[in-house]
């Protein structure tokens, strides 16, 4: 029950319309495929790191704002449930970057969509949570 309520709160909070222009998958792929010495590549790396850390932080804030007191392990489990993916703790930034790039390359029909949404879908595909 607690997971259902928290998931509903998270979805309601994340469904607010954005007014800023979103980065699309085409732009992110271009940056991620730049040479590793190029500033665009550094942008790509920072963007992916921001998603990996930021999306989990955002989900955690939703749980904590509900007033629910949970231990770290339970909080991690709740945020994984809310986000729909369970990346292993030892997964490194480079692995996340490779997963996003591979998803963008193999789904060219979706690259016009929001890069952050595409990254989330890539993580859900690569790191499904156990049933």
Evaluate whether residue 61 is within a structural domain: yes
- What are the structure tokens assigned to 17, written together? 């319309």
- Cα 34 to its chain centre, rounded Å, is 22
Evaluate whether residue 31 is within a structural domain: yes
pLDDT tens for 55-64 read 888 888 888 8
- In angstroms, the CA 21 to CA 15 distance is 16
pLDDT tens for 100-128 read 999 999 999 999 999 999 999 999 999 99
- In angstroms, the CA 53 to CA 48 distance is 9
Residue 91, CB half-sphere, CA atoms under 13 Å: how many? 16
In degrees, to the nearest 5, what angle opens at C-alpha 64 toward C-alphas 58 and 66?
A: 110
- Give the domain extent around 60: 2-11+24-126
The whole-number pLDDT of residue 21 equals 61
Evaluate whether residue 37 is within a structural domain: yes
3-state DSSP call for residue 24?
A: strand
pTM: 0.77
């Amino acid at each position: 029950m607690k997971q259902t309520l928290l998931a509903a709160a998270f979805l309601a909070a994340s469904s607010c319309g954005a007014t800023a222009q979103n980065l699309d998958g085409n732009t992110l792929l271009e940056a991620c495929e730049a040479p590793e010495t190029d500033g665009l590549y550094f942008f790509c790396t920072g963007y992916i790191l921001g998603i990996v850390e930021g999306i989990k932080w955002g989900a955690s804030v939703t749980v904590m704002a509900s007033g629910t007191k949970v231990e770290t392990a339970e909080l991690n489990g709740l945020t994984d449930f809310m986000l729909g993916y369970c990346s292993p703790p030892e997964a490194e930034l480079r692995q996340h970057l490779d997963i996003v790039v591979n998803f963008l390359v193999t789904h060219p029909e979706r690259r016009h969509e929001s890069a952050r949404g595409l990254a989330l879908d890539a993580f859900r595909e690569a790191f499904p949570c156990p049933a």
